[in-house]
Amino acid sequence: MTITRRQLMLAGTAPWLSLPLSGWAQNLDLAKILVGFPPGGAIDVAARRFAEKMRPGYAKAVVVDNRAGAGGQIAASALKTAPADGSVLMLAPMAVFGIYPFTYKKLPYDPVADFAPVSRAVQFNHGLAVGPAVPASIQTVPEFLAWCRANPEQANFGTAGNGTTMHFIGMLLGRAANTPWRHVAYRGSQPAVQDLIGGQLPAVIAPLSELTSHLASGRCRLLVTMGKSRSRFFPSIPTLVEQGFGELGFTEWHGFFVPAKTPADTIQSLNATLNTAATQADIVQSMDSLSFELAPSSPAEMAQQVKEDMQRWKKLISSTGFTLES
């Protein structure tokens, strides 16, 4: 397997990554990975692949505990009160830390005080896809937005729900383009994608992992990806930045966290285990199938990532005036 330059850099700057896992092993009987979403979704699949790699070196058994609901808040609440001994960790999306504090009037957790970062797991991009309700001649975002202005009664876009990253990207894009399109909130990306390919919805903003199979079948087409640079999974598709929306480059991540009072050596043990897993060929292949890029980090890098995302999204969300009830 080819190891990336970033993985080599991580190994060079953190010597403990090159140690055998047994040197850091917790030797637990059971460890749990909390996931705030139902089984079968991309984040759940990622958690299960990492769980496989944590056995038996970190714990004899590692299970994924799906605490679905409230966009990940239920899982975060469970982690907050979990034992701080390395036996319970959470794989969570950026929104739990970077978005919810600025959209919900009350949260059952403090995104900084209640958790300790362990490592970023993966990073990924969203895409804007259109379906059969949009003429096949429309191939770019400016063309699509012009179609929306000419057909205001059809100017809708679907996402996985209110207050999600995808919702805000759509809001910001509409505002930047002076195109008042309407948001349609679904319970997850897949119901939205189903309406897209069925022709009931013209457009969807969703993670690339939720679109890949439908793009391959030709039932929808991808106009743009939302990262600052092109996705390596869809290198022929331009970014929003390339199409004239320079401020709208977003790369999202899923990261591992533990309760705040977890000892530093336990966090290092988890970090070593997870980052070593991220170099294994089979997990790389599995994440590639989800259009996820493995993006291991140190705990300090993960903490800095959270800080930067909170600062950015606080400003962006404040500019929209959007709020949600808890």
User: pLDDT by residue (tens digit) across 170-184?
Assistant: 999 999 999 989 999
Q: Give the tokens for residue 177.
A: 């383009």
- Assess whether pLDDT exceeds 80 at residue 320: yes
Residue 161 one-letter amino acid? G
pLDDT at residue 189, as a whole number: 87
Cα 281 to its chain centre, rounded Å, is: 21
Percent of the chain with pLDDT over 90: 77
pLDDT at residue 26, as a whole number: 60
CATH class of segment(s) 126-225: alpha beta
pLDDT at residue 15, as a whole number: 34
At 58, the pLDDT band (50, 70, 90 cuts) reads very high
Q: Which CATH architecture has domain 5-124+253-320?
A: 3-Layer(aba) Sandwich (3.40)
CA–CA dist 23, 11 (Å, integer): 16
CA atoms within 13 A on the CB side of 271: 26
pLDDT at residue 116, as a whole number: 98
Q: Which residue has the higher pLDDT, 2 or 230?
A: 230
Q: What average pLDDT does the segment 127-155 reach? A: 95
Tell me whether residue 307 is exposed, middle or buried, using C-beta atoms within 10 angstroms of its C-beta: 0 to 12, 13 to 18, 19 or more: middle
At 144, the pLDDT band (50, 70, 90 cuts) reads very high
pLDDT in tens, 23-39: 345 689 999 999 998 89
Identical fold at 5-124+253-320 and 126-225?
yes
User: Among 281, 285, 305, 290, which Cα is nearest to 44's?
Assistant: 290
Q: What average pLDDT does the segment 182-192 reach? A: 89
- Assess whether pLDDT exceeds 60 at residue 119: yes
Q: What average pLDDT does the segment 114-137 reach? A: 97
**Cα 91-96-98 angle, rounded to 5 deg:** 120
Q: Where are the chain's structural domains?
A: 5-124+253-320, 126-225
